[in-house]
């Protein structure tokens, strides 16, 4: 009986530890909370781009990783590119905007 309680107690602690560790982020992996935050940021950025008449939102793809928004695609002018960056940067929760892969059609 004492062994049963000992195994059950340690087993429960081990399971709890595994759950906590699996939800934690690492430098290369995002935690569940970070993933949810990133999806919310991506949605807000995309909605803001759609609402802005100066940006062709269909031409711009949006991804977010740990608060860093990456814009990719081809836009029609330097002004549209700059506006897309400004719109993305204005969204709450955005740490930085990476637009290295957002090109202007020449």
52: CATH? 3.30.1340
Residue 89 lies in a domain: yes
pTM of the predicted protein model: 0.73
**How high is the pLDDT of residue 18?**
62
Domain with 83, as residue range(s), is: 30-104
List pLDDT tens digits, range 59-99. 999 999 999 999 999 999 999 999 999 999 999 999 999 99
List pLDDT tens digits, range 16-66. 666 665 555 556 677 888 899 999 999 999 999 999 999 999 999 999 999
Q: How far is CA 58 from CA 6, 26, 36, 103, 104, in A?
A: 59, 33, 23, 14, 14
């Amino acid at each position: 009986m004492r062994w049963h309680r000992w195994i059950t107690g340690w087993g429960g602690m081990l399971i709890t530890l595994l759950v906590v560790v699996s939800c934690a982020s690492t430098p290369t992996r995002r935690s569940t909370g970070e993933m949810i935050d990133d999806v919310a940021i991506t949605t807000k950025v995309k909605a803001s781009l759609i609402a802005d008449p100066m940006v062709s939102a269909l031409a711009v793809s949006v991804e977010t990783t740990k608060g860093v928004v990456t814009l990719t695609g081809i836009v029609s002018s330097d002004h549209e590119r700059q506006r897309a960056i400004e719109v993305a940067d204005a969204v709450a929760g955005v740490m930085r905007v990476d637009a290295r892969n957002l090109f202007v059609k020449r």
